[in-house]
Structure 1
Amino acid sequence: MHSFHFVTEDMFILFLLLVLSLDAGLSYTALICRQSVPNSTQDFEGKTSFGMSVFNLGNAIMGSGILGLAYAMANTGVILFLFLLTAVAGLSSYSIHLLLKSSGVVGIRAYEQLGYRAFGTPGKMAAGIAITLQNIGAMSSYLYIVKYEFPLVIQAFLGVDKPSGEWFLNGNYLVVIVSVCVITPLALMKQLGYLGYTSGFSLSCMVFFLISVSPAAPTAYTIPILAFAFVCHPEVLPIYTELRNPTKKKMQHVSNISIAVMYIMYFLAALFGYLTFYGKVEAELLHTYSRIDPYDTLILCVRLAVLTAVTLTVPIVLFPVRRAIQQMLFPNKTFYWPRHIAIAVSLLTCINLLVIFAPNILGIFGVIGATSAPCLIFIFPAVFYIRIVPKEDEPMRSTPKILAACFACLGFLFMIMSLSFIIIDWTTGSSNSGSGH
């Protein structure tokens, strides 16, 4: 039986897991759809359909979160998990409402530019840095999955019992090959709308995972518990920009549908994984493959589907980082292909080096997630809303602004609690981060 302290900590860790998911995968498209990077969208005509926008935002939300929640459910129980998942989904929808309302007031659909309008250059820099750190952490976690799981999949397909010295079983080589051959061409696209097809395929892979990981299945499989379940806020405004015949109501529908679909997938994936392993659920469920048949065909197919899904998510996640860097370093420059390509290649090179040479960066990811995620989900949308919406329309003591202020305070509280648990974990030496992911 857990003591009250550990029960409380487990509950908060689940809330941390879900809220980090609230910001996810994180697919922020560059607003460089013409020959410039506009601060306003009045002269831009979106061409992306409603369905493709749902695919892109759903893929952004999904990240790797869908596969790590069974462990959280095992520590909190089904009822509490469902309550917290519902609460976080509701908070996500409200946060997106604040962003869309602020965007509508000033005619801006770029997260960094909202920061600039609210607080000047410091606001723009804060938003840009938070987006950059959050999405670099997300991309690195996805490529870590490729690095550690892809060699095992190839090894199983070849029927090799133990890793041999062949280069094609070396995760470092494979992650570079995947980055060069798959991720880079997709990341160099000019508009996010083109990625709607790959996003749809990525979501289909996760649906295949969901169908397979049922209690009736002979096996279960997931990916590490580094979950970013509903984090999609930097991506909302660029997707809004590329939406055909955009309105605030239509974009809110896109967001609500994406959140609802992922809400169902998250709950079912967590429930099926939990019912398969119960108390034996591990924080990194892929490690449980050592206890089952590694050559099972269903396992191999699902693991390959998961690898495909996270690989196709990386290009979407790269868009907001490139956008943030352009806004911080080249705010008044028109679109320029060499710069567009150079930023993408530089980012992917740095992330590959990080994944290859850093044996363990979960501590860094934890700090980034505990700081940038609350900013992007809670604090920035709320304070931007308070600053941007005119007092003539909504006085400071009006109900909407009071709710926004409470929302920002919740973000600060969440940040303090997250960092406190991380520091306690470090000082007590109870971290399990040495797993290699």
Structure 2
Amino acid sequence: MEASQGSCHTEWGWYVSAQQPEDSAAEESRLLLSNELHRQGSSGVSFGFSVFNLMNAIVGSGILGLAYVMANTGILGFSFLLLTVALVASYSVHLLLSMCIQTAVTSYEDLGFFAFGLPGKVMVAGTIIIQNIGAMSSYLLIIKTELPAAISEFLTEDYSGYWYLDGQTLLIIICVGIVFPLALLPKIGFLGYTSSLSFFFMVFFALVIIIKKWSIPCPLTLNYVEEFFQISNATDDCKPKLFHFSKESAYAVPTMAFSFLCHTSILPIYCELQSPSKRRMQNVTNTAIAISFLIYFIAAVFGYLTFYDKVESELLQGYSKYLPHDIVVMTVKLCILFAVLLTVPLIHFPARKALTMVFFSNFPFSWIRHSLITLALNIIIVLLAIYVPDIRSVFGVVGASTSTCLIFVFPGLFYLKLSTEDFLSWKKLGAFVLFISGILVGNFTLALVIFDWIKK
């Protein structure tokens, strides 16, 4: 252990000595972070648990929308795009860690402040707020649409019209009785243990998708549907497409960016890592992204090969239609809803932290302010979940705007600003490509999504 601590301290010292401090305050902050990382080296989180924590930050509601993306891009088109986004996410984390070493900051907001002063801090904080509000509203949208169906499947008679089968009523009750009280706590560390179950639920969900691929025949027939709607019985509907492009393909990259966004969790996990070093944290990131990529790909490909062109934008809805009383499907539904329910209060904290850092950073803690911010966030996400008709809309707008900024634009821009390397160096050229591609992809896909809304 002593050797590993020494290597961490030596590596940090090498980076600090290689940079000329802008002033004594910057040098002091580097030394403080150096001492903090060295101190936590003996009591920090192990490599395995760090990978697990980061996977929990990555794998979320995006897993429910990727099969729909594959239906609108084709298997090969989807595979290429998903792999590209995963690699870009890993590379942007590499740039963030490099800037973390150089500037000695421990949060994304502070990195923006170090690069562009107060405007940079506000820009990053605002992006994080919008991103987390979008993520929370997507989770609540899943609860609103799936919880009534899950309850009705356990009932033997028709109870249509009752309050406990109304999605909006259930959503408000859950947010008032569960989400708000848990999010109101100043420290919610105990939920970190329960939220670890969400990753196992996502793995269970992927396994069920694989198993149930052979339970739903193709062509799809009306025998498997409780409500009447027209379904084509053409055998062409059961042939997977390698490449497919339509107006719905505009949601591909935003949904993938939304699904791989973990960058606001990178620096806190790095600070808690046992024997922390840039290389060790990069290995944690690469491992977590690789496993998450595998889970996402399995869920998407088997979900697509089950429903083909009839796949829903939220995958669970398809199983509700075709296997409404299947015990395994009912169980995995409850598991996903439980995971979502435990995740929503946790996402409140970075959003509230970003708001507090921008507007109240110089004020002492106040329960009144803390409660009002939490209440305001809760009201916003409930209204979005009630009035947004489709989870695809959340993935499209949030993914094309804030997710691309946090994965593509900001890491590239901040590295170009802070790095002292020559512009023709490989890292700076990579950062420039990341920055430009993020702007182009984000604006292009956002324009397509908005155009699709207007057309409808």
Q: Tell whether the structures are fold-level matches, with TM greater than 0.5.
A: yes
Which moves more between the two structures, 117-126 or 349-358?
349-358
Contact kept? 1:112, 1:125, Cα under 8 Å: yes
Q: Quick one: which amino acid aligns to residue 424 of structure 2? A: R
* Residue of structure 1 aligned with 2:286, choices 256, 274, 298: 256
2:85 is aligned with 1:88:
yes
SS at match of 1:209: helix
Deviates more, 1:271-280 or 1:92-101: 271-280
Superposed CA RMSD in Å reads: 2.9
Paired residue for 2:316, among 269, 286, 290? 286
The one-character-per-residue Cα deviations of 1:326-361 (angstroms, maximum 9, x if unpaired) are: 111122345556544543343223322433456679
Structure 1 residues 83-92 or 189-198, which shifts more? Answer: 189-198
- CA shift, 1:406, in A, is 1.1
More moved, 156-165 vs 405-414? 156-165
**Separation in structure 2 between the aligned mates of residue 231 and residue 196 of structure 1, nearest angstrom:** 19
Q: CA deviation at 1:254?
A: 2.1
Compared CA separation, residues 357 and 270, structure 1 to 2 (3 A): closer
Alignment of 1:127 with 2:157, yes or no, is no
Are residue 168 (structure 1) and residue 195 (structure 2) matched? no
Residue 113 of structure 1, aligned match among 102, 110, 114: 110
Give the aligned residue type for 1:57. Answer: L
Aligned twin of 2:13: none
Q: 8 Å contact 1:65–1:229 — kept in the other structure?
A: yes
Which residues of 2 match residues 361-380 of structure 1 at below 5 A? 366-380=396-410
Matched, 1:350 2:383: no
Quickly say closer, same or farther: Cα 1:255–1:185, change in 2 above 3 A: farther
The correspondence for 2:204, drawn from 205, 208, 219, is: 208
- How far off its partner does 1:182 sit? 4.0
How far off is 1:139 after superposition? 0.4
**Whole-angstrom distance in 2 between the partners of 1:283 and 1:172:** 20
Report how far residue 275 of structure 1 moved: 1.9
Which one-letter code corresponds to 1:204 in the other structure?
A: F
Shift of 1:271: 1.4
Cα 1:203–1:315 change in 2 (3 A) is: same
Distance in 1, matches of 2:87 and 2:56, equals 18
Question: Of the two, which has the highest radius of gyration?
Answer: 2
User: Are 2:336 and 1:309 aligned?
Assistant: no
Instruction: Map Cα deviations across residues 139-186 of structure 1 (whole Å, 9 max, x no partner).
Output: 001101111211111111123435232x32232332233334443454
Q: Is the 8 A contact 1:150 1:171 kept in 2?
A: yes
Are 1:73 and 2:100 matched, yes or no? Answer: no
Distance 1:128 1:105 in 2: 21
Q: Is the deviation greater in 68-77 or in 300-309? A: 68-77
1:426 aligns with 2:453: yes
Question: Aligned ranges for residues 172-187 of structure 1 at < 5 Å?
Answer: 172-184=168-180, 186-187=182-183
Using the TM superposition, give the Cα deviation of residue 82 of structure 1 relative to its aligned residue in structure 2, in angstroms.
Answer: 1.8
Is the CA contact (8 Å cut-off) linking 2:141 and 2:391 kept in structure 1?
A: no
Native 8 Å contact 1:219 1:299 kept in 2: no
Residue 401 of structure 1 pairs with residue 398 of structure 2: no
The structure-2 alpha-carbon separation of the partners of 1:283 and 1:97, relative to structure 1 and needing over 3 Å to count, comes to same
| Structure-1 separation of matches of 2:179 and 2:97 | 30
1:373-412 deviations in Å (ceiling 9; x for gaps)? 22111111111112122x2xx1223221111111100111
SS in 1 for 2:72: helix
Partner of 1:327: 357
Taking the aligned partners of 1:243 and 1:79, their CA distance within structure 2 comes to 37
Larger helix share, 1 or 2: 2
Using structure 1 for the length normalisation, give the TM-score.
0.79
Distance 1:334 1:246 in 2: 31
The equivalent of 2:442 in structure 1 is 415
Residue in 1 aligned with 2:325?
295
Q: Please report the TM-score for the alignment, with normalisation by the length of structure 2.
A: 0.76
Q: Offset at 1:199?
A: 2.9
Q: Aligned partners of 2:322, 2:269: CA distance in 1, in Å?
A: 42
Mean CA deviation greater in 403-412 or 156-165: 156-165
In the alignment, the residues of structure 1 paired with residue 101 and residue 187 of structure 2 have an alpha-carbon distance, to the nearest angstrom, of 22
- 2:262 counterpart of 1:232: yes
Paired-residue identity, %? 45
Q: CA contact under 8 A between 2:313 and 2:392: conserved in structure 1?
A: no
Gaps in structure 2 of 5+ consecutive residues: 1-28, 218-250
Q: Is the 8 A contact 1:192 1:239 kept in 2?
A: no
Following the alignment from structure 1 to structure 2, what is the Cα–Cα distance between the partners of residues 396 and 168?
60
Shift of 1:135: 1.0
CA change 1:363–1:206 in 2 (3 A) is closer
Q: How far 1:65 sits from its partner (Å)?
A: 1.2
- Alpha-carbon distance between aligned partners in 1 of 2:405 and 2:146, rounded to the nearest angstrom: 32
User: In 2, Cα distance between the equivalents of 1:404 and 1:211?
Assistant: 37
Q: Give the secondary-structure state (helix, strand or coil) at the position aligned to 2:324.
A: coil
Question: Contact 1:235 / 1:320 at 8 angstroms: preserved in 2?
Answer: no
Distance across 1 between alignment mates of 2:100 and 2:359: 22
Paired with 2:143 and 2:373, the residues of 1 have a C-alpha distance of 22
Distance 1:363 1:274, change over 3 A: closer
53-62 vs 98-107, which moves further: 53-62
Q: CA deviation at 1:250?
A: 2.5
- Aligned-residue offset at 1:219: 4.9
CA distance in 1, matches of 2:390, 2:313: 16
Q: Distance in 2 between matches of 1:249 and 1:187?
A: 34
- The Cα shift of 1:232 comes to 1.1
Greater shift after overlay, 280-289 or 190-199?
190-199
Take 1:91 and 1:115, find their aligned partners in 2: how far apart are those partners? 20
Would the aligned equivalents of 1:52 and 1:197 in 2 still touch at CA under 8 Å? Answer: no
Matched, 1:381 2:411: yes
Aligned counterparts of 1:317 and 1:41: Cα–Cα separation in 2: 26
Q: Is the 8 A contact 2:148 2:166 kept in 1?
A: yes
Question: Unmatched 5+ residue regions in structure 1?
Answer: 1-37, 432-437
Q: In 2 relative to 1, CA 353–416 (structure 1 residues): closer, same or farther, beyond 3 Å?
A: closer
